[in-house]
Amino acid sequence: MCPLWRQGPTCGEPVTGQEGAGTVGSAQRRAVHAQTFELFEDPAVNAPVKPVVLIAEELSPATIEALGPDFEIRHCNGADRAELIPAIADVDAILVRSATKVDAEALAAASRLKVVARAGVGLDNVDVKASTQAGVMVVNAPTSNIVSAAELAVALMLAAARHISPAHAALRGGEWKRSKYTGIELYEKTVGIVGLGRIGVLVAQRLSAFGMKVIAYDPYVQAGRAAQMGVRLVDLDTLLAESDFMSVHLPKTPETVGLIGADQLARAKQSLVLVNAARGGIVDEAALYDALKTGQIAAAGLDVFASEPCTDSPLFELENVVATPHLGASTDEAQEKAGIAVAKSVRLALSGELVPDAVNVQGGVIAEDVRPGIPLTEKLGRVFTALAGETAQQLDVEVRGEITEYDVKVLELAALKGVFADIVEEQVSYVNAPLLAAERGTEVRLLTEAESPDHRNLITLRGTLADGTQVSVSGTLVGLAQKERLVEVNGFDVDLEPATHLAFLTYEDRPGMVGVIGGILGEASVNIAGMQVSRQEQGGAALVALSVDSAIPADTLAEIESAMRAASVRAVNLS
């Protein structure tokens, strides 16, 4: 049966796999979505053979217990490629931490592999795209370390405020320097939390108990929700001006890299103690060094760095810096939680059940005709967030067309996963996405309609912002190759592939604007891959939708906005 997204008249060739949906077709050997958990018969002995789980790094004993007796457990040193490649050849699942690289080479060697489980949050050592193309599910443990990370941020703040690191070093060197290392209290000081996600909230709660006044910058959290937690929302400039202490809890995205640079640090109090236990690169390390060296700010506590492992940094030479080697998740409790979480996910995946922490393909019974829409819907969510610039008070996920014959609840989850993917520090999954929406005061509705006048199937995300503004984006899949297309943005008709780098410019229709855009982007060496102009009437509001080969620098976007007198300029990065 032809998938119902198709516009073509014939069917029969395999459907190309897409990230987030897996591959579909007769050549698919790893049907993750429909996988049933069973003991396979060994033809040689006519005896049941248990699925094989390979543990490639040291994990807690509780991980083995959580797997239970239904698996054959094997072990190897995943950091040793010569040992890993033959060991992975005939296993059904592999559990790793951070030292084992599950890349295209390892996946090619794994003829039976169905699940890669990362006992932790980060997935830098797992090739998610290659896994998806191979039909291999990737799971992680997105909430296993949030308490540990929050506690480390508080520990770094206290250590920096009380000069614990240099005082300890001096004492070990035989020096008693009480007066030199006089510190400051947290009590009745103002702390600014940059990023009020789950970890940011935990830090705010803990610092409130110290008697601190808590302010926060997070454009994706509504003021009412923050007020319920006793937190006052402010813009970034206000936070920098008012904060005595500051703790960063943002995801690392193209928009957040370098967010705290020289200009921002110049606006801060000279008494500021800055902590970054989130991701390296959000705070510009060169600018931070200069600010600490010159006394522009007082101290810093760092657990993360732009390039890791980092053992040689000018920051380490400064006495007013306390630094740790990315220890946010390095507690016994976090490691045990991570191991247990991924062990449960492996059991679910191999039994064909819904896997909440799957980051690429979703386990459980999802109709084959619905699955190709999952990655498209996630991208629509990311585009929606970029267009809105804040979280919506009301978000409708509208699904039209023939696929509404099936259960399309997964598309609502995929939309939310995309909406929050670039705005929270923690990994977003199908389970925590609705919780993130609830925490931010976003009401979500899934609306279905069998009639779809212009497309066989159509997915639209439509949201209402705090000021009543409506934001919408729609997409579909077209042709035998199931190509993703954006077909509507804020009421304007478009036909644009959701490429890695996009931009949307809204302005008053008048001659010469296309040339203005091309000229400015040319001067910035940004190549235009595709451009569309859409308008509702001559001389009225118009939209330019761009796909470009590289990210458009912020100053270039500002120049375009000024030259066009644009009402809105939004860039989207889908990498």
Is 549 among the domain residues? yes
In contact, 376 and 477? CB cutoff 8 Å: yes
Asked whether residue 26 carries a pLDDT value surpassing 50, the answer given is no
Contacts of 281 (CB under 8 A, 6+ apart): 252, 257, 258, 306
Give residue-wise pLDDT tens across range 43-69.
Answer: 444 555 789 999 999 998 999 999 989
One domain for residues 395 and 479: yes
Whether 105 maps to a domain, the answer reads yes
* Model confidence, pTM: 0.71
CB 120 within 8 A of CB 145: yes
- 121 DSSP assignment: S
Give the number of domains in the chain: 4
What confidence tens digit (pLDDT) does each residue in 100-121 have? 999 999 999 999 999 999 998 8
Those residues with Cβ within 8 angstroms of residue 268's Cβ, 6 or more apart along the chain or in another chain: 240, 241, 243, 246, 274, 291, 296, 297
Structure tokens at 278: 């989130």
Do residues 453 and 514 share a domain? no
* Peptide linkage before 309 cis (omega within 30 of 0): yes
> For residue 543, what is the enclosing H or E element?
strand 541-548
Domain end residue (candidates: 496, 520, 554): 496
- Considering the domain boundaries, does residue 328 fall inside one? no
Give yes or no: residues 465 and 439 share one domain.
yes
Identify whether residues 491 and 504 lie together within a single domain.
Answer: no
Give the end of a domain, one of 299, 323, 347.
323
Is the domain of 340 the same as that of 380? no
> Is 170 found in the same domain as 134?
no
Q: Give me the active site residues, please.
A: 279, 308, 326
Q: Tell whether 346 is covered by a domain.
A: yes
- Least confident span in 120-134, 307-321, 357-371, 546-560: 357-371
Residue 68 belongs to a domain: yes
Question: In the prediction, which pLDDT does 77 show?
Answer: 96
Domain with residue 160: its CATH number is: 3.40.50.720
The per-residue pLDDT for 366 is 67
CATH code for the domain in which residue 527 is found: 3.30.70.260
| Same domain flag for 193 and 138 | no
Mean pLDDT for the stretch of residues 517-525: 93
Give domain status of residue 13, yes or no: yes
The residues, ordered by sequence, that sit 6+ positions from 367 with a Cβ below 8 Å of its Cβ are 403, 406, 407
pLDDT for res 16: 32
Domain match, 45 and 104 both: yes
- Reported as a pLDDT band with limits 50, 70 and 90, residue 32 is very low
Last residue of a domain, one of 264, 292, 323: 323
Same domain, 160 and 304: yes
Residue recorded with tokens 């035998």 = 480
pLDDT digits (tens, 9 = 90+) for 76-93: 999 999 999 999 999 999
Average pLDDT over residues 164-171: 95
What is the pLDDT of the chain when averaged over all its residues?
87
Both 164 and 283 in one domain: the answer is yes
How far apart CA 532 and CA 181 sit, in angstroms, is 61
Which of 50, 15, 13, 64 has its CA nearest to residue 342?
64
The confidence band for 7, taking pLDDT boundaries of 50, 70 and 90, is: very low
**Strands 470-478 and 457-464, bridge-based pairing:** antiparallel
Residue 565 lies in a domain: yes
Q: Are residues 290 and 185 in the same domain?
A: yes
234 neighbors 215 (Cβ within 8 angstroms): yes
CA 77 to chain CA centroid, Å, is: 29
For tokens 């229709």, the residue is 509
Domain assignment present for 482: yes
On the 0-12 / 13-18 / 19+ scale of CB atoms within 10 A, 451 is exposed
The boundaries of the domain holding residue 87 are 35-142+334-364
Residues 346 and 318 in one domain: no
SS percent in the chain: helix, strand, coil, step 5 = 30, 25, 45
Residues 6+ apart with CB under 8 A from 523: none
